[in-house]
Chain A
Amino acid sequence: MPEDLLVEKKTTGAVLVVGGGIGGMQAALDLANSGYLVHLITEEPSIGGKMARLDKTFPTNDCAMCLMGPRMTDTQNHPNIKIHTLTSLEGLSGEAGNFKVTLRERARYVNIEECTACGDCEQVCPVTVPNTYNEEMDTRKAVYKLFPQAVPNKYLIEKRGIPPCRATCPAGTNVQGYTALISQGKFKEALEVVMRRLPYPGICGRICHHPCESECNRAQYDEPIAIATLKRAAADYGWEGLPPVEPVKPWQAEKVAIIGGGPAGMTAAADLVARGYRVTVFDANDLPGGMMLSAIPRYRLSRDIVARESQRLLEMGIEFRGQTVVGRDITLAEIRSQFDAVLVAVGTQKSRSLNIEGISASGVLLGLDFLKAINAGQPPAVGRRVLVIGGGNVAMDVARSALRLGAAEVHVASLEARHEMPAHSWEIEEALEEGIVLHPSWGPKRILQQDGKVTGVEMLQVSSVFDENRRFNPKFIPNSEKVFEADTVILAIGQTSDLSFLPADLGLEVTRGGTIVADPLTKATAVPGIFACGDVVSGPASVVEAIAAGHEAAISIERYLSGQDLAEGRSLEKPEKLGPPEGRLVLASRRRQQRAAPVAERIKDFREVLLGFTPEVAQEEAKRCLNCGVCSECLQCETACKKKAIEHWQRDKVLELDVGAVILAPGYELFEAELKGEYGYGVYPNVVTSLEFERLLSATGPTKGALRRPSDGKHPHRIAFLQCVGSRDTAGGAEYCSSICCMYSTKEAIIAREHDREVQASIFYLDLRSYGKNFDRYVDSAKNDYGVRYIRSFISRVRQEPKTKNLIITYYEGGQLKEEEFDLVVLAVGVRPPKKARELAQLTGIRLNQYGFAWTEELDPVVTSRPGIFVAGAFAGPRDIPETVMTASAAAARAAALLSDSRGTMVSPKVYPPERDVAGEEPRVGAFICRCGINIGGVVDVPAVVETAQRLPGVVHAQEFTFTCSQDSIKRIKELIEEKNLNRVVVASCTIRTHQPLFREALREAGLNPFLFEMANIREQDSWVHRDQPDLATAKAKDLVKMAVAKVKKQEPLYMQQVPVVPKALIIGGGPAGLTAAAALADQGIESYIVEREGELGGFLRRLRTSPEGQDLGSYLRDLLRRVDEDPRIHVFTRAEVAEVSGHAGHFKTVVTLRGRMAESRVELEHGVIILATGTVEARPQEYLYGQDPRVLTQTELENRLADGEHQGLNRVAMIQCVGSRDDKHRYCSRTCCTQAVKNALAVKKANPAAEVYVLYRDMRTYSFMEKYYKEAREQGVLFLRYDEGEKPRVSPGQDGLKVEVVDQSIGQPVTLAVDTLVLATAAEPPAGVKELATVLKVPLNEDGFFMETHAKLGPMDFPSQGIYMAGAAHSPKFLWEAVYQAEGAVARAMNILAQPSLTVGGVVAVVDEEKCAACLTCVRVCPFNVPFINERRVAEINPVQCHGCGSCAAECPAKAIQLQNYKDAQILAKIRGLFELSEVGG
């Protein structure tokens, strides 16, 4: 093959869509349906975007979620759309047509394939956090689903990182985990979490020095959580519930010896036993526990606790050789010969002494020996006055023990000053409480004695203990000697190890301090096979540090024994400290104090001093935890999940994909209402944002749809809506208009009133910007039908009534300042660019505009500054839902045009086995009953249902599955179809909405017709709603199964037909929308016919001259016409009209009449789709002397004069807005006139800055970024005077030009203007002939004569009849760029059909029995989609291409001539009869 052919550049037939909101979904669906592979990414765990958080949408007041649910399901089930949730774009390279994108998919920690959304994990999760979906007005768990209808319907776990408590714990104990469980009273579960890292929970709960508490983030707000005491509570109240220990049978050959049975040695022993090794612990004592048993005073740690915790470890299978002193009873050499590895963990068991005069006097004792003797039951005698020397924890233990042994006075002298003493502060405080006397900064010089018996110590005052290098180097003050009298002196100045058992020639390195040198990371010594850890390495430390060392040593020993590298992947570094969760409101609460035995009593004996928490107090204290890590990794979910879908080990994934184009649809953010402090948001509880209000109205909201105000839960009646919060505001807000708020507030006011008839809504606004299709009607209905008050007043402050928490608003109305009280204030917060706009722009290399939104060329509204990257929805500026849908489809069209050479290359059709013919076979039904974990199985007696199913006639196989939808169950069903020769299948599980496609697919894959399937919903319709009545629920499940089986037996195979598509389009209207559509179709390789009534193309655009940004529209049109003229795929018919249309989507036949110069002729065109682009015309004004006085012009006439440079007579100009709009004649707003007036006013001012320009308006509707022109006009001195609809301006010819009289509403005074030119903003109205066209096409018009779309929100370009679309002003008045994107969008919609070679039709559709049809027209009238018609045979015909299968006609047909496939009368009746099957046998 020649070289140049090989390197021919082909594009990649896949598109990346960024954003899972309604825009992203629309773009994805349009692209996927026209032959492209789509990767749809969203950073959220579900698709749905902002719309999923709305309650209702106007104007139909439909539930937003109900509208979007099917759209979400379509997106998810589409074979050509791959949804990547929790995914962000990280990199992009390449160029238009061939990009390489890098995606990061955050870990979900839940296996998305396995999760069935049963919610068991959520039930057991102990961590509750604010629910961001509901604007933090309620809470959710750390494992959660974004909202009940989430798609994909899967759980996820939120993690922030390792909380500081856990990160700080030397042993890595999961503090947040057990705290969370304790907060729920789950002490046993909490204890199990502790014991994953800490074999001594009760011990550490009592004596740990808890470094975790010093790191606790709660301290930033009040006081740290009492973590150690909580741990004790877990041990105190959870121990009894622990399951018995199961001894581990060793499976490794190697044996390990551990010298020392203290915490370090025992921890390592337990770890190694658990890993299958045989472990022997050698210890001098008769029981394990080391110092915990032998030295720590019983009043701090009872013997029982040590014994029971040690015992549990021994039960695992550790061999303990007590009373064995290595070096005496067995030599190290002997041990080394018998064992494969040795761990030295002997601790520091020798007290240090002093080399001073008198040290050997009687009555001088060593601290550790003293404590050991007490614990051994042989307490040494103490005198009346005891002096303890030392400032550490042992000194405190000794002093307090001496007190308990009967000393009258106990003194402690330490070298260190009080704040330098090494003892823990709480140890010192408890000692002081008990009456111990401290003498800081004193050091012993000599011990005084008499008759060999100690009498006191001569002490020297210390000036400093540490030198400048913080090294121990005490300095004494000369001549400061003082005698401390004492009859007993106990030295507690430190401990050291007894290493005498180590042979000198062993090669172990020992420090001068008497500790063994071991690698701090691996605990390996210089001698291979010998490890050392704990105090013998570190010097005296704490229990938890010894445990930590034990864990590490165990890892190293295992690695050593299995020949692995000891250090690999391990590190001593701690991660950066995780702060408290951001933006959380933390209410101050005090740390609970644990109980303590009264001092007077406790010093008499060795009873336990600290008594821990009661279970109730422990729970309260645990609830103070901030859950810094969100998920606590307590792993309760792992246990609860029957499907084993929880995967805490998951890591983020990085994906690289090839795509040809990118569509950015990340949506928008809302203005942060806190920034407008004057409204008190965040301060006054009853001031909420509009989105919070949506959630308060919503059934899935925090109040379950009951409208309650936050402060007291009362139903608010007086509700104020404040508009423009953060919009049209240069002081801290944004300059532009957010476009959507006027309408959403109106909707919210109406919905609130629908919730509660008592609601009185008041909307405070600046200009009411109801500029869209049917918007003014909606506002009228708010005023007239719902009593919504609209008050034009900008609110500068909200005050709160302190007692009632009502809100007081001062406003200006009717020339007066008024003060009014409200129960609730809703802030209409404005639209902001998405948070990640900047990052996204940087990554993709696109430009942002001055406001931070995606920049686009004014007249090319979905194309960014970088080729191949398109933008949809609010990322390009504030947009409502229909505009978002239109731009999304437009972006899809542009991407598809770019990639038209690779259409269909990345999608591959699925291959199925040949379908089995089951005709004539007796029904052989397989019935599969789902337990859905415990969701069904926990309520319904599933085996009983299976048993009933088995006995049903025709059922040859019945069985249950834990999860029928899981991969293995599906596989089994397919096998059974084959093995048992099944020809019908019933699944009794959940809803058909989400699961039927999955099971039907399984049938198809097993060679059965997918319609031989029936589902019974025994979850949503049974187990979930009858939880409390399991018996009745079981009976109902049986009934549902009986009915499903009865019906499935009557089911018949249904086959889809293929109808070929004519890949051409008919475009009616040759204005900018029609021309753009033709060009966009041609870009995708599609031929089109443009039918234009007039003699010339261009429509109304021919009369426009400049765009608001100043572009020359004349040259724009010329370019467009040239493009159309030159393209051979575009055929133009001018002076042409559509006369007849027949056929259906995919294949229409249209007769067009052509008005020639001489005669009329007709052509017949065949095409697959129709795009209506009939546009509008400028209404001719009847008022204000138009047509009578040459000085009166329309705005368009003025525009033309200005463009032609005719500036005479423009020194004094008045403009009147809404001439013929928003009145009785046209009840709608013409949308473009305000901006046109501002544009022309600026042009007048530009030509002649001295010109006077007055704009007489009702509401200035310069929405979105056009607000900047309005602002500029005011800055340029254009005067804006507001008039009222009831008091229209009066115009008369005057002496000095035209006289214009108007009552200026802002001052309430009449004003008379004398001008030389009067300009009228006239209405835009549908052209003549639209009604007739609508009749020919059988499509509806609205009251204003504009075409009516299928759905105002989600179907703005579609008609109920498939294959017909609309674009441009045929929909409603609009700007040029809006017509452009709608035209491109209509093309994307049309490509859904045109890209297919044929349409697959049939299945669940209505079928007419012509014999029975009486042509009564019932079906024609009742069909919501206008599908049935009476054909040439004079009977009803229903085209399967167009039928939606809703069944309305079948239900209504009086002659029963219509049957809905798969829901035929016979099938439904069989189902009903099935209910009574087996009833005689009580089944």
Chain B
Amino acid sequence: MKYTYYPGCSLHSTSWEYDASTRAVFRRLGIELEELDDWSCCGATSAHATDDFLGKALPLRNLILAEEKGQDIMLPCAACYNTLRTADRFMRSGSQQARELNLELARVMGREYQGTVETRHILDVLQDKTVQSLLKSRVVRPLTGLKVAAYYGCLLNRPPEIVSFDVPEQPVVMDRLLETIGAEPVQWSYKTECCGGSSSIPQPEVAVRLNTRIVLDALRSGAQAIVTACPLCHVNLDTRQEGAIGQVPELGAGMPIFHITELLGIALGTPEEEVRQWFARHLVDPGRLFSESTQVA
């Protein structure tokens, strides 16, 4: 099994640990990830809002590159995933504009997009039956007793006709993954609540308010941590808890926020050394959860 791996900019910068843990997980599963050569920006944050051509051409360029590889493309970032899926769907519509765009790109890249490559989010790959049974058989440190709120945010599930590989209003893929590694997903109402990611810079107070609601509901639902599958959600939830810390005693020093691959990586037996490097990148230290309960780190 092999996937073309498109990390996107976050995983090469702010969310380095998401990239590292993704690679660790797939290494331990024995699934090869081949990073896409010469990948470029997907255009997620600004291109689609400012320039329609760029908004489609940027993801399309990456799709064309990936198509040459022949295997499915896997993305850990929900924004990249959403953008590439949207572009892919646009191209598959076969509309006049799509054909024109394809010709335009072909002039630059010498190759048209055929629509033969499947763009898949990391969660979609992980819910594959074969990957599931691999995962099940390779868990060496079940995270027994760890209560986690699975947080999906917006881009993974919306719009459902473009991106959804899960139940759009009540997604469960991460909850199932948590069960597979022995952790306990909690039932809560904010799985798909907006984290305010896009307001983070222009209106940080909005982001803080939205984040606080999410974190506090997870806490009240009995979660010890939140797990995400999107670098933007992760950054937001991890860095914007200041509103609640200090005001809610149960929250203590904050709610640890994990990338799903970090928890999988731990369960699959990634050495402590490596895990510590991931955790060092978090603002709210997740390490204490393990020193108390499962002695992983």
A799 x B169 contact (CB < 8 A): no
Q: Closest chain B residue to A588 by CB distance?
A: B179
Residues of chain A lying within 8 A (CB to CB) of residue B217: 802
Q: Shortest distance in angstroms between A750's beta carbon and chain B's nearest beta carbon?
A: 30
Q: Shortest distance in angstroms between A19's beta carbon and chain B's nearest beta carbon?
A: 33
Known: A680-B189, A683-B187. A803 touches B220 (CB 8 A): yes
Q: How far is the CA of A803 from the CA of B189 in the complex (A)?
A: 12
Known: A683-B187, A800-B188, A802-B188. A678 touches B169 (CB 8 A): yes
A503 within 8 A of B: no
B201 within 8 A of A: no
B170 x A802 contact (CB < 8 A): no
A677 within 8 A of B: yes
Contact of B170 among A588, A683, A801, A803 (CB under 8 A): A683
Q: How far is the CA of A677 from the CA of B188 in the complex (A)?
A: 13
- Name A668-687 residues within 8 Å CB distance of B: 676-678, 680, 682-684
Task: Mark B106-129 against chain A: 1 for CB-CB distance below 8 A, else 0.
Answer: 000000000000000000000000
A680 x B221 contact (CB < 8 A): no
B269 within 8 A of A: no
Task: Mark B244-269 against chain A: 1 for CB-CB distance below 8 A, else 0.
Answer: 00000000000000000000000000
Q: Shortest distance in angstroms between B137's beta carbon and chain A's nearest beta carbon?
A: 13
B287 within 8 A of A: no
Known: A802-B217, A802-B220, A803-B220. A677 touches B169 (CB 8 A): yes
A680 x B170 contact (CB < 8 A): yes
Q: How far is the CA of A1295 from the CA of B167 in the complex (A)?
A: 58
Residues of chain B lying within 8 A (CB to CB) of residue A803: 220
Q: Closest chain A residue to B149 by CB distance?
A: A802
Q: How far is the CA of A683 from the CA of B187 in the complex (A)?
A: 8
A677 x B221 contact (CB < 8 A): no
Q: How far is the CA of A802 from the CA of B214 in the complex (A)?
A: 12
Q: How far is the CA of A684 from the CA of B188 in the complex (A)?
A: 9
- Name B202-227 residues within 8 Å CB distance of A: 217, 220-222
A677 x B170 contact (CB < 8 A): yes
Residue among B179, B186, B221 with most chain A CB within 10 A: B221
Q: Closest chain B residue to A799 by CB distance?
A: B189
Contact of A677 among B167, B187, B190, B222 (CB under 8 A): B167
A677 x B189 contact (CB < 8 A): no
Q: Shortest distance in angstroms between A586's beta carbon and chain B's nearest beta carbon?
A: 12
Task: Mark B156-192 against chain A: 1 for CB-CB distance below 8 A, else 0.
Answer: 0000000000011110000000010000001111100
Task: Mark A574-590 against chain B: 1 for CB-CB distance below 8 A, else 0.
Answer: 00000000000000100
Q: Closest chain B residue to A682 by CB distance?
A: B170
Q: Shortest distance in angstroms between A587's beta carbon and chain B's nearest beta carbon?
A: 12
Q: How far is the CA of A677 from the CA of B172 in the complex (A)?
A: 12
Q: How far is the CA of A683 from the CA of B188 in the complex (A)?
A: 9
B168 x A677 contact (CB < 8 A): yes
Size class of B's contact patch? 10 to 19
Q: How far is the CA of A588 from the CA of B217 in the complex (A)?
A: 25
Residues of chain B lying within 8 A (CB to CB) of residue A800: 187-189
Q: How far is the CA of A676 from the CA of B221 in the complex (A)?
A: 22
Task: Mark A787-819 against chain B: 1 for CB-CB distance below 8 A, else 0.
Answer: 000000000000111110000100000000000
Known: A680-B189, A683-B187. A802 touches B169 (CB 8 A): no
Q: Shortest distance in angstroms between B173's beta carbon and chain A's nearest beta carbon?
A: 14
Q: How far is the CA of A682 from the CA of B187 in the complex (A)?
A: 11
Known: A680-B189, A683-B187. A802 touches B222 (CB 8 A): yes
Residues of chain A lying within 8 A (CB to CB) of residue B168: 677
Residues of chain A lying within 8 A (CB to CB) of residue B189: 680, 684, 799-800, 802, 808
Residues of chain A lying within 8 A (CB to CB) of residue B188: 800, 802
Residues of chain B lying within 8 A (CB to CB) of residue A677: 167-170
Q: Shortest distance in angstroms between B188's beta carbon and chain A's nearest beta carbon?
A: 6
Q: How far is the CA of A259 from the CA of B169 in the complex (A)?
A: 68
A802 x B167 contact (CB < 8 A): no
Residue among B168, B170, B186, B222 with most chain A CB within 10 A: B170
Q: How far is the CA of A955 from the CA of B179 in the complex (A)?
A: 74
Q: How far is the CA of A1185 from the CA of B220 in the complex (A)?
A: 62
Q: How far is the CA of A802 from the CA of B215 in the complex (A)?
A: 13
Q: How far is the CA of A800 from the CA of B190 in the complex (A)?
A: 9
Q: How far is the CA of A1171 from the CA of B170 in the complex (A)?
A: 55
Q: Closest chain A residue to B171 by CB distance?
A: A677
Residue among A588, A676, A800 with most chain B CB within 10 A: A800
Residues of chain B lying within 8 A (CB to CB) of residue A684: 187, 189
Q: How far is the CA of A808 from the CA of B188 in the complex (A)?
A: 12
Task: Mark A684-697 against chain B: 1 for CB-CB distance below 8 A, else 0.
Answer: 10000000000000
Q: How far is the CA of A815 from the CA of B41 in the complex (A)?
A: 44
Q: Closest chain A residue to B217 by CB distance?
A: A802
Q: How far is the CA of A850 from the CA of B240 in the complex (A)?
A: 51
- Name A585-632 residues within 8 Å CB distance of B: 588
Q: Closest chain B residue to A681 by CB distance?
A: B170
Q: Closest chain B residue to A678 by CB distance?
A: B169
Residues of chain A lying within 8 A (CB to CB) of residue B187: 683-684, 800, 802
Q: How far is the CA of A803 from the CA of B170 in the complex (A)?
A: 19
Q: How far is the CA of A17 from the CA of B98 in the complex (A)?
A: 56
Q: Closest chain B residue to A731 by CB distance?
A: B160
Q: How far is the CA of A678 from the CA of B192 in the complex (A)?
A: 10
Residues of chain A lying within 8 A (CB to CB) of residue B179: 588
Q: Shortest distance in angstroms between A29's beta carbon and chain B's nearest beta carbon?
A: 45
Q: Shortest distance in angstroms between A800's beta carbon and chain B's nearest beta carbon?
A: 5
Residues of chain B lying within 8 A (CB to CB) of residue A676: 169
Q: Shortest distance in angstroms between A801's beta carbon and chain B's nearest beta carbon?
A: 8
- Name B236-292 residues within 8 Å CB distance of A: none
Q: How far is the CA of A800 from the CA of B193 in the complex (A)?
A: 13
Residue among A680, A682, A683 with most chain B CB within 10 A: A683
Q: Shortest distance in angstroms between A674's beta carbon and chain B's nearest beta carbon?
A: 8
Q: How far is the CA of A800 from the CA of B170 in the complex (A)?
A: 13
Q: Closest chain B residue to A802 by CB distance?
A: B221
Residues of chain A lying within 8 A (CB to CB) of residue B186: 802
Q: How far is the CA of A711 from the CA of B221 in the complex (A)?
A: 15
Q: Shortest distance in angstroms between A1455's beta carbon and chain B's nearest beta carbon?
A: 72
Residues of chain A lying within 8 A (CB to CB) of residue B169: 676-678
Q: Closest chain A residue to B157 by CB distance?
A: A677
Residues of chain A lying within 8 A (CB to CB) of residue B190: 799
- Name A7-21 residues within 8 Å CB distance of B: none
- Name A114-144 residues within 8 Å CB distance of B: none
Q: How far is the CA of A1106 from the CA of B170 in the complex (A)?
A: 47
Q: How far is the CA of A1117 from the CA of B221 in the complex (A)?
A: 66
Q: How far is the CA of A178 from the CA of B187 in the complex (A)?
A: 37
Q: How far is the CA of A683 from the CA of B167 in the complex (A)?
A: 12
Q: Shortest distance in angstroms between A1's beta carbon and chain B's nearest beta carbon?
A: 70
Residues of chain A lying within 8 A (CB to CB) of residue B220: 801-803
Residue among A800, A802, A803 with most chain B CB within 10 A: A802
Residues of chain B lying within 8 A (CB to CB) of residue A682: 170
Q: Closest chain A residue to B189 by CB distance?
A: A799
Q: How far is the CA of A588 from the CA of B187 in the complex (A)?
A: 16
Q: How far is the CA of A1240 from the CA of B190 in the complex (A)?
A: 46
Q: Shortest distance in angstroms between A205's beta carbon and chain B's nearest beta carbon?
A: 29
- Name A642-680 residues within 8 Å CB distance of B: 676-678, 680
Q: How far is the CA of A676 from the CA of B168 in the complex (A)?
A: 10
Q: How far is the CA of A677 from the CA of B192 in the complex (A)?
A: 11
Q: How far is the CA of A801 from the CA of B188 in the complex (A)?
A: 8
Name 29 interchain pairs, CB-CB below 8 A, sorted by A: A588-B179, A676-B169, A677-B167, A677-B168, A677-B169, A678-B169, A680-B170, A680-B189, A682-B170, A683-B170, A683-B187, A684-B187, A684-B189, A799-B189, A799-B190, A800-B187, A800-B188, A800-B189, A801-B220, A802-B186, A802-B187, A802-B188, A802-B189, A802-B217, A802-B220, A802-B221, A802-B222, A803-B220, A808-B189
Closest 8 CB pairs of A and B: A677-B169, A802-B221, A799-B189, A677-B170, A802-B220, A678-B169, A800-B189, A683-B170
18 further contact pairs, Cβ within 8 A, besides A677-B168, A680-B189: A588-B179, A676-B169, A677-B169, A677-B170, A678-B169, A680-B170, A682-B170, A684-B189, A800-B187, A802-B186, A802-B187, A802-B188, A802-B189, A802-B217, A802-B220, A802-B222, A803-B220, A808-B189
